[in-house]
């Protein structure tokens, strides 16, 4: 009899631990529904320790006046924007693997900063995860609407999603679909009176991401970042805010 009691007690303990673990995962997934497997698949960033770590670091930061924020995924994350633009007020808010949903989830930190400028590039990971263009556009609209409402003096620059090189990348991405998304992003930029920056055409060659600008067909190498930086510099002047 005592063996049976011991087994029942052990089972109760295991069930309690399992319940606590489930709650832990739910909390660390920013309250995303555990039973929504499709949502989890398309917003996998929520479930990575990297995202959680980076977000917690960004949330702990004390902001200064006249900052510029680069907001996006690995393409933004991998680059040293402050060095490239010779401006210590430039903050990198890229998180590798991030999606439009992930950006929405951490937009409060950007709003609290009330930055002078935000350069936004996000969306390619949504497409990799199979997210529809309609959903990406809806999320973009919410991002821009939130920025316009809560940080109206911030200049927002919407950057085009970059082309890929299908011969080099293992992802099932199609540049014509990326171009269609970019057309919608350009229209949204106009709707919110934000500037749209077309970098897609600066990186493309024969309908593909120029192989001289990438190693894996998705991310940029040093030469690719030079092209991107030159494009940013055409809109960027560190003296603008000082002179106004």
Nearest to 93 by CA among 119, 126, 124, 123: 119
pLDDT 10s digit of each residue in the chain, 244 long? 555 444 445 444 444 443 443 333 333 333 343 444 555 555 556 668 999 999 999 999 999 999 999 999 999 999 999 999 999 999 999 999 999 999 999 999 999 999 999 999 999 999 999 999 999 999 999 999 999 999 999 999 999 999 999 999 989 999 999 999 999 999 999 999 999 999 999 999 999 999 999 999 999 999 999 999 999 999 987 445 444 3
Q: Which domains does the chain have, with CATH numbers?
A: 59-236 (3.40.50.1110)
Cβ atoms of 92 and 79 closer than 8 Å: yes
**Backbone phi, then psi, for 209, in 5-degree steps?**
-60, 125
To the question of pTM greater than 0.85 for the whole model, the response is: no
CA atoms of 122 and 89, how far apart (whole Å): 22
């Amino acid at each position: 009899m005592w063996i049976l009691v011991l087994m029942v007690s052990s089972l109760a303990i295991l069930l309690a631990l399992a319940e606590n673990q489930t709650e832990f995962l739910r909390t660390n997934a920013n309250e995303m529904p555990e039973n929504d497997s499709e949502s989890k698949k398309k917003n996998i960033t929520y479930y990575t320790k990297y995202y959680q770590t980076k977000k917690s670091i960004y949330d702990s930061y004390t902001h200064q006046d006249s900052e510029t924020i680069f907001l996006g995924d690995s393409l933004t994350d991998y680059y040293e924007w402050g060095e490239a633009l010779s401006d210590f007020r430039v903050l990198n808010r890229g998180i590798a693997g991030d999606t439009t949903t992930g950006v929405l989830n951490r937009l409060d930190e950007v709003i609290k900063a009330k930055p002078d400028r935000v350069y936004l590039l996000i969306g390619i990971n949504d497409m990799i995860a199979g997210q529809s263009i309609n959903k990406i556009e809806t999320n973009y609209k919410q991002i821009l609407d939130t920025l316009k409402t809560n940080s109206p003096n911030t200049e927002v620059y919407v950057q085009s999603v970059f082309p890929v090189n299908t011969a080099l990348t293992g992802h099932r991405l199609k540049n014509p679909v990326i171009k269609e998304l970019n057309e919608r992003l350009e229209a949204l930029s106009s709707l919110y009176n934000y500037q749209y920056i077309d970098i897609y055409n600066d990186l493309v060659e024969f309908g593909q991401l120029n192989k001289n600008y990438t190693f894996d067909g998705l991310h940029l190498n040093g030469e690719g970042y030079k092209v991107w930086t030159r494009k940013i510099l055409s809109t960027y002047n560190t003296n603008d805010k000082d002179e106004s």
